[in-house]
Structure 1
């Protein structure tokens, strides 16, 4: 089972580095510019990051590298955060993350990096389409949840634009003819846009399609979409290109629609965990100890954890499989890197065993535990937490 959120992407980028040793340094902070005196606030933020890194033993070279990334303009509208990850002095990740902070800022140095912010911003691998409908055709652009927009032109669908408007009021015999002709052009243009959107849905497999634009064109476009595309569609009742207030309302609409998709997937996971636990079919485990045991055997398909509920607990990070342990005797002869925050150890083990990871509230998990997992195959006897 291949993971469908940030863990799969991180495995591809960090796999070999996470397996080995070395020293990590990271910084996750708000870099929004929509504040009073943004230059001064940015300078204060950068100074705070630098001081926190030095306090934890980062070298001047590492501090300078991370500071250099934070000094770059994010290039996307506020609110926005930045995450920079350095391994043995080299930048391995420098990510602009649209939206507010997810949790608290994180700045640190250690043997295992804090990857939780990336998982929080990218809880699922969720491509989505934003479609603008017009009577003369349409346009759409692809995005990915938790990723800054790629600097690519939107896909344009240019339809016919002759006689797009009704003829002027009159009582002549031509009036109904031209009105019908104009409406047919609108329908044709909308059908062409819908066909392009349907093709994008088939190739990209997005989790959401948001349609906005002219009211008549929106209605015609939605009617022309395939059943697959229609099931993914959320309609914004306005045109974000008309004025600033409409644009802001559209942004909020998209954010709400994305949050609904993410929440639905999280609730489905929580329901599945409760179902397997209730059945006692050994296809789910609960409790930190049992989740660690599952990850040690690469048995976890989906791991759900509450970082707040786990708190300050630590686990042992290992320099090879089984990657994580609760005590030295569980290391099975693998060198121990050392004790690290339990959340960081769990995320690292999930990445290295290609398990999907979901951040949840402990209250939604069976028994209110801090961690649980769906398994790739049934588990044996329970492991005490």
Structure 2
């Protein structure tokens, strides 16, 4: 998973307010409910010592996603009285939360982006047989996205209407267009729903490379919900999956580790590699770092297991911070990726491993 979307967070020195808030609109009087939730979080930030200007900056954007229907949430980050990042969450946070600290609490936002699977969704509706004086039509809607974030931030949607009599020929041309779009967007899968006959015609005429990536789905296929195309079906298709890109990184890690290649495993080794900017991708078993603390300095790569280690590097007044926050900051600063991999797929020592850009004699 690439973390470049977090770069605005680390362009500021902090301290930060980090707010995760349920802003769903699927209840009666949602604005009142959101205001009550925010009031509790605002009071919590004040108790933690957050400055009034930063709290006010967050308050200005609370609930600003009113046009978005259904269940969702907001992740809001402010610093020094200014909004730094306002991110939509495809699902409400498990618990509303507010934190004031020197580092932003970014890991919950990262988790909501997982598994970050690129896809192309296609819905084909058949208008029925031609009747006297009326020609039936096939309507096609196609939309790219990255699941699950596309639920609240869908990609460009394109539509095409074709007379039924021309559908067989038009499906072949459309298949090549869809193939080009899937290639451009790096789609792992093409999820197709709608009328069975019309879908079958289209799928049979897709180029072979794309046809092997097709997943047919059933159920309702509305195209005007204000949410992602085939949103309900995407959950069933992608739940428990990893993106192909991330799976490839895991396979590279396993292969390199087997021959003592450019990898590091265990928290100490991974932190040492981050200090040197050696990490291409950090592999992370979920739920392994939530209670850990690391020592950090003002620079992102100033991260260590002990205070003495940072002091020996000349860092003045190092401080302890949650490991998740320290690791994400270092990854963003060094343009490294994060791969969250279930223990069932790969169990890592201390829940942490790393693919390295290079090795040297100082690498543990």
Change (3 A) 1:379 1:230: farther
> 1: CA distance between counterparts of 2:344 and 2:168?
50
Question: Secondary structure, in 3 states, of the residue corresponding to 2:234?
Answer: helix
SS of the residue corresponding to residue 369 of structure 1 reads helix
Q: State the Cα distance separating 1:288 from its structure 2 match.
A: 1.1
Pairs within 5 Å for 1:84-123: 84-101=76-93, 104-123=95-114
* Aligned with 2:71 (options 50, 74, 79): 79
Q: Name which of 245, 263, 274 aligns with 1:295.
A: 274
Q: Which runs of structure 1 show a deviation greater than 6 angstroms over 4 or more consecutive aligned residues?
A: none
1:134–1:213 CA contact under 8 A, matched in 2? yes
- What's the CA shift string for 1:92-139, capped at 9, x where partnerless? 1111111243x6544111111111022112235543222122453422
Q: Secondary structure of 1:75's match?
A: coil
Q: Tell me the residue number matched to 2:142.
A: 140
- TM superposition score normalised by structure 1: 0.79
Match of 2:306 in 1: 327
How far, CA to CA, are the matches of 1:68 and 1:343 in structure 2? 28
* Inter-CA distance 361–235: structure 2 relative to 1 (3 Å threshold): closer
Q: Secondary structure at the match of 2:14?
A: coil
Change (3 A) 1:338 1:74: farther
Counterpart-to-counterpart distance in 1, 2:360 and 2:329: 21
Mapped to 2, the partners of 1:133 and 1:316 lie a distance apart of 54
Q: Does 1:345 align with 2:341?
A: no
Q: Which runs of 5+ in 2 are unaligned?
A: 127-137
* Alpha-carbon distance between aligned partners in 2 of 1:303 and 1:264, rounded to the nearest angstrom: 16
In the TM superposition, 1:1-385 aligns within 5 A as 4-5=1-2, 7-11=3-7, 13-17=8-12, 21-35=13-27, 38-101=30-93, 104-123=95-114, 125-135=116-126, 136-145=138-147, 146-147=149-150, 149=152, 154-159=157-162, 161=163, 164=164, 182=165, 185-241=166-222, 250-262=230-242, 269-277=249-257, 279-306=258-285, 308-320=287-299, 322-331=301-310, 332-335=313-316, 338-361=319-342, 365-366=346-347, 368-378=349-359, 380=361, 383=364
Structure with bigger helix share is 1
How many pairs does the alignment contain? 349
Supply the distance in 2 between the matched residues of 1:340 and 1:26 (Cα, whole angstroms): 14
Q: Distance in 2 between matches of 1:263 and 1:187?
A: 33
Unmatched segments (≥5 aa) in structure 1 = 165-181
Structure 1 47/232 Cα, relative in aligned 2: closer, same or farther at 3 Å? Answer: same
Deviations 1:198-237 (A, max 9, x none): 2212322222321112211100111111223223321113
Which position in structure 1 is the counterpart of 2:133? Answer: none
Provide the C-alpha distance between the structure 2 equivalents of 1:343 and 1:41, rounded to a whole number of angstroms. Answer: 30
CA distance in 2, matches of 1:53, 1:147: 30
**Bigger Rg, which one:** 1
- d(CA) in 1 for partners of 2:278 and 2:345? 22
- State the match for 2:129 in structure 1: none
Is the CA contact (8 Å cut-off) linking 1:137 and 1:192 kept in structure 2?
no
Q: Distance in 2 between matches of 1:363 and 1:323?
A: 32
* Whole-Å separation in 1 of the counterparts to 2:181 and 2:141: 12
Q: Is the 8 A contact 2:15 2:102 kept in 1?
A: yes
Separation in 1, partners of 2:223, 2:78: 43
- TM-score of the two chains, using structure 2 as the length reference: 0.83
1:363 is displaced (CA, Å) by 6.2
In 2, the alpha carbon distance for the partners of 1:127 and 1:335 equals: 43
